[in-house]
Amino acid sequence: MYLRITSNTIERGKAEELRAVIQEMDRHRAKTGYAAVEWLTSLTGRPDELISVQRYERLTDYETALEQVGNDPAYLALLGRLKACTVAGVGHIQLLRTFHQES
């Protein structure tokens, strides 16, 4: 299992706009069959931190998803709107692999 985890800082005063963009992104992802995204905020850390998590069975699934999104102008526009709601230059992306899995 592979996880793509992205952290961003929500721009002050942009939370409601961001929420609307995320709803549009989720609808678009469901319509196109893209992997679901879990959107999280911190209960114990920074309240302005936005975390997104995507799960993929295989690394090739992740690579395919990147290619699909990169060729989808509507989704790229939504990503641009999401970026406009976050602080530039402070985001972080991690690609993680499951450490231990039961057989």
pLDDT score of 42: 86
Closest CA to 36 of 21, 51, 15, 54: 54
What confidence tens digit (pLDDT) does each residue in 33-48 have?
999 999 999 888 888 9
pTM for the structure as a whole: 0.85
pLDDT score of 57: 94
- In sequence order, which residues have a C-beta less than 8 Å from that of residue 18 and are 6 or more positions away? 10, 11, 50, 82, 85, 86
Query: Is residue 103 in a domain?
Result: no
C-alpha span between 8 and 86 (Å, rounded): 6
Sort strands 49-56 and 38-41 into parallel, antiparallel or unpaired. Answer: antiparallel
Average pLDDT over residues 75-95: 94
pLDDT at 102 over 80: no
Query: Is residue 40 in a domain?
Result: yes
pLDDT at 96 over 70: yes
- What CATH number is associated with residue 86? 3.30.70.100
Query: Is residue 102 in a domain?
Result: no
89 or 6, higher pLDDT: 6
pLDDT at 103 over 80: no
Note down the domain range covering 47.
Answer: 2-97
Task: Give the total number of structural domains in the chain.
Answer: 1
